[in-house]
Structures are given as C-alpha cells and as structure tokens.
Amino acid sequence: MLILCELEVIGLWGSREDMKTNHRLSILKNLLTDQEAIVQNDMVPNVLAAMIQVGFEGLRELIDIAERDVNGLQGTIVKILIKMRVLQRLVIVPSILAQINQNADPFVKQEGLAMLNRLGTLVWESGGLPLIMDLLDQGVVDRQLLTSVLRTSGQEGE
C-alpha cells in the first residue's frame, strides 16, 4: 500500500520543475531496490513507466539500473526500452544498418534486411534508404526482399 501511495504522490507533483527530477528519481530508485515491495508485488512496470515520464534523467537512471542489474531487473528494463520507438530509431535500426554495411556475407545482409522489413518506416526515419538502394544496385541479395523493405520503409502513399 505504501508503494501505491508513493507512486500517487509522484503523479500529483505534475510538472513542478523543482521537484520533477531530483525527488521523483530518488523515490523511484529506492522503490526499485526494495525487492519485496516492488518485484514480488509486480509493481516494476509502473515504477519504470514513472521513471521514463521524468524525461532524459529518468531514462539515464534506468540504463544505470539495468547496467548494475539491480534486483535482476535488467531483462525487464531492456524489454521495455526495446519497445520504445525512439530507441528503435536511434539505436536498433542504425546497428542493423551498420551490420549490413560492414559484413560481406550475403546471408548476413539478407538476415539484416529481413529484420529491417519488420521495422517499417523506422528505416526511412533512421536514414537507411541510401544503403538499401546501394544494395539494390549491387545485386548481392534477394531483390524481392529489397523491394519489400523499400515498400515498407517509406511513408504511406509514397
């Protein structure tokens, strides 16, 4: 019950800048270190969501908690971060594009393209279309897969 009250208080602080970062993060970090209260009562998603709402500082603290694997939360935090569109655009898609670009093996390139095919417009948003066009010109990988990636990567109606 105490945890729910603390989360409610954090929510009531709203946009007060002076309390937004420091106090919220310290309370939330303390909650995540309490194994019995948070992990066993399945409150982790709520606390993580509150930390993300704090902004960049909250995201930085989340990454720090994941690096230290506090209470075995690393897997849970990574699962949440992977679902965030901004991290997909800024981290995941560029790493797949780099892997495709740096590897000479056509099978590895094809695997990367298959991953990009599932990420839709994130490829376009991440600036990956020139690499896809280069692969099309080179003729190294399956053209049907390349055209499928191109089709799913653009804006609707393009």
Is the pTM higher than 0.85? The answer reads no
Give 90-136 pLDDT, tens digit per residue.
889 999 999 999 998 989 999 999 999 988 889 888 888 888 888 88
| Cα gap 111→49, rounded to integer Å | 32
> 76 and 15 in one domain?
yes
- Total domains present in the chain: 2
- What HEC string does 123-147 produce? HHHCCCHHHHHHHHHHCCCCHHHHH
> 12 and 64 in one domain?
yes
Contact present, 147 and 113 (Cβ < 8 Å): no
In terms of residue numbers, what domain contains 122?
85-153
Give 4-31 pLDDT, tens digit per residue.
555 555 555 555 555 556 677 777 777 7
Q: Report the C-alpha dihedral over residues 122, 48, 67, 79, rounded to 10 degrees.
A: -40
